[in-house]
Every structure is written in structure tokens, then in C-alpha cells.
Amino acid sequence: MCMRLGRYTWHEASDGDPIWDGFLYKRDKYLNSPDAGHPDHYPMPTHLNLTAVEQASHITLGWPDHIADVMENLLEPDSRKRWQATRVLDSEWFKRIENCHPTSRPPDQVLDESDIQSANPNPSQRVGSKVIPEDASVTGCKVVKEARTRRDDAIDHRDESVVSPVS
């Protein structure tokens, strides 16, 4: 999603992040929509989570179904239902990617209740997501900021060369 959007969708997938909260609200609105005869009825989208992200973020993703299926399942808020990396490796989308250095498939990891309970200080694996804020001083953010600055400078210089003096 970050590569497609050129930015993070939300800073942290937890209560209090306005876009995450908006995503959950839109998702819940579809899941609990009234009957079709009701004037406030919302038809259930094919990709519920992606539609909720689009509406909460005011963006359009427009992925083909084989990619949308993967993204849809990676965006599942319930960590017990969310796809793990091995499931992504088995997806139609991933199978379409040509790889000149294939490796063996990693073993499946099974989540247990300790992974889901946030009270456990040492889960067997991390569950959930936390995103680095845009202004963090990490290499990825610096690279993106530098690329944007160079792009903006190039556009400014191009605009200056197009302007001709008035006689």
C-alpha cells in the first residue's frame, strides 16, 4: 500500500489514529448495514477492507482482483484472520511474479493466544502493525524526502526556463 500510495495509510493501526479509526468505522458501517430496502443501505463491496481504506483516506487504489485479494486479507483487523506471509506466497498474485532466484518456502507459523493478547510482554511473534511517522529520522523517510525535494527543484527550474521575458 505504501508503495502504491507513496505514503503511509495510517501512522499506527490502533485506536486514536484518526485514519485507522475512520477505516474501522467505514468497515463496520458496511458489515452492519441495514437491509437493502432501507434508504441508508450500503451494498457490500467486493473488497470490504480496501473500500473502507479508500473512503477513510479519500484515495482510489484500483487494484486488479488478484492483488486486491491479497491486500484485502492483509488489511484484516482481526489478527487471527489476517493472512501471514506464507499465505501471500501461495496467492495468485505472488505466483505471477517472475523470480530469477527462487528459494524454498518458509514453514507456516501458527499463532497462539499469547500472540493475540496484548498483555503478554513477550509474544512468540509480533502481531499487528506500527508505522514510522513521516518526520522520523530513518533512512527510508530521508530518501523519500530527498527524492521529493529533487523532483520539486527540477520542476521549479523547468518552469523558470519556459518563462520568456516580456518586451
Average pLDDT over residues 108-114: 65
CB 134 within 8 A of CB 8: yes
User: ∠ CA(47), CA(53), CA(56), 5° rounding?
Assistant: 135
User: ∠ CA(69), CA(75), CA(79), 5° rounding?
Assistant: 115
Tens digits of per-residue pLDDT, 46-104? Answer: 899 999 999 888 888 888 999 999 999 999 998 889 998 889 989 999 888 887 777 77
* Residue 39 vs residue 88, higher pLDDT: 88
pLDDT greater than 50 at residue 130:
no
| Threshold 0.85, pTM exceeds | no
* Residue 105 vs residue 127, higher pLDDT: 105
**What whole-number distance in Å separates Cα of residue 3 and Cα of residue 14?**
21
